[in-house]
Amino acid sequence: MVGVSAGDVSMAFAGIPAAAALAQSKRVHPLFVTSQKRSPALPEVMSAAEAGMPDFVIDNWHAIFAPANLPAPIRSVLEAALQKSLHVPAVVTQFQKGGADAAPGTGAQLGSMVASETQRWSKVVMDNKLKAE
């Protein structure tokens, strides 16, 4: 982002927290966010879908993982506490300030999403014959 704002680099992909201040100070011009909908942190910036790329969704997500052998009663207590905390207005506001949406879900839903994302990005790697260097 420093290179873009200095004019040394034509464009870059960046997380909203890294780009928002530069965009708001007019040091960079955001083209679109890589999501299906606009970000609350940059509501004037169109989404990839609005830019004509509905399949260009690259989401920066975070999750909390626990050991696979965590006893079910403990897992249930943790999931309930996390669900409750992600609905607290102050927590939701903090997520939005960082350009994110709090997305409460269950461990099973997270497992499905991780499997889906793994399959999706594995296909990108294979289709493009990418190799680690």
Res. 78: pLDDT tops 90: yes
Domain boundary, last residue among 18, 43, 60: 60
Q: What is the CATH number of the domain that holds 10?
A: 3.40.190.10
pLDDT tens for each residue of 17-74: 888 888 888 999 999 999 888 888 888 999 999 999 988 888 878 888 999 999 999 9
Q: Which of 16, 43, 60 is the last residue of a domain?
A: 60
User: Do 132 and 87 belong to one domain?
Assistant: yes
Domain containing residue 94: 62-133
Instruction: Decide: pTM greater than 0.75.
Output: no
What does the DSSP assignment read for the chain? -HHHHHTSSS-----HHHHHHHHHTTSS----BSSSS--TTSTTSPBTTTTT-TT------------TT--HHHHHHHHHHHHHHTTSHHHHHHHHHTT-------HHHHHHHHHHHHHHHHHHHHHTT----
